Amino acid sequence: MSTVTIVLLVVLALLIAGAVALYFFGKRLQKKQEDQQAQIAASSQSVSMLIIDKKKLKLKDAGLPAAVLEQAPKLMRRSKMPIVKAKVGPKITTFICDAEIFDMVPVKKEVKATVSGLYITSVRGLHRPLAKPEKAKKGLRARLKRKYNELNGKLKESK
């Protein structure tokens, strides 16, 4: 066997071993996430709150309690999280919002939210249904193309 063939076989073996390891690692993480979701669902309660502000902030800048910061993994501390400040009863509290519903949360409106500790899992309108979030922002190319087409249309109409 030539050295090229041996190198290719070793690389192939490493790729197969890596794929198998990722499969089992992913399966374990998925099981862990399902357990966490079950715990969140078990301890959730419905609360009426007035949303004051919502932003994406780093955990250390969000004003969360020190115990929450200590429990958070190091990677989580540096990444930006969806943070919601809300008035629950007479007290203003900072919550971590689920990323999937963050766009639906209205600012300066009263909502009925499902909360598990400091984590908002779902939001419903208290007096009327919430407005659907707008579509994702268009990229620069799409905006320029739209403007180009509008200007071209105006030029053709004026002729």
* Predicted local distance difference test score (pLDDT) of residue 6: 93
* Predicted local distance difference test score (pLDDT) of residue 134: 64
Task: Look up the pTM and report it.
Answer: 0.66
Q: What is the CA radius of gyration of the chain?
A: 24
pLDDT per 10-residue tile (average), the chain, 159 residues: 90 96 95 90 90 90 84 83 92 91 89 90 82 71 86 70
